[in-house]
Amino acid sequence: MSIDKFEDVSIVRIDTDGRTEQDDIVIKEHALTITLSDGKFVKDRAYVTIFCSPTDLEYLGLGFLLSDDIISSIDDVESINLSEDGSILDIHVKEKANLPEKLLTKRDVTSGCGRNSTPRDLLEASKIQKVESDIMVSSDTIIRFSSEFQSMSDLYKSTGGTHASALCDKDNILIFKEDIGRHNAVDKVFGECLSKGIQTEDKMILTSGRISSEMLIKSAKRHIPIVVSRSAPTSMALEFAKKANITLVGFARGRRMNIYSHDYRIE
Strand partners, 227: 205, 248
* 223 Cβ contact partners less than 8 Å away, ≥ 6 residues apart: 131, 133, 200, 201
- Amino acid making up residue 237: A
Cα separation, 136 vs 211, in Å, equals 21
Contact 214, 178 (CB under 8 A): no
Please answer whether residues 247 and 259 qualify as being in contact, where contact means their C-beta atoms are separated by less than 8 angstroms. Answer: yes
What is the CB-side half-sphere exposure of residue 260 using CA atoms within 13 A? 25
Determine the Cα–Cα distance for residues 191 and 63; give it in Å rounded to an integer.
Answer: 4
Name residue 51's amino acid.
Answer: F
Catalytic residue among 52, 113, 168, 193: 113
Find the radius of gyration of the CA atoms of the chain.
19
In angstroms, the CA 186 to CA 179 distance is 9
Q: Assess contact for 53 and 180: CB atoms under 8 A.
A: yes
- Determine the Cα–Cα distance for residues 58 and 71; give it in Å rounded to an integer: 14
Q: Which helix (H) or strand (E) holds 45?
A: strand 45-52
Q: 168 catalytic, yes or no?
A: no
User: Which residues are annotated as catalytic?
Assistant: 113
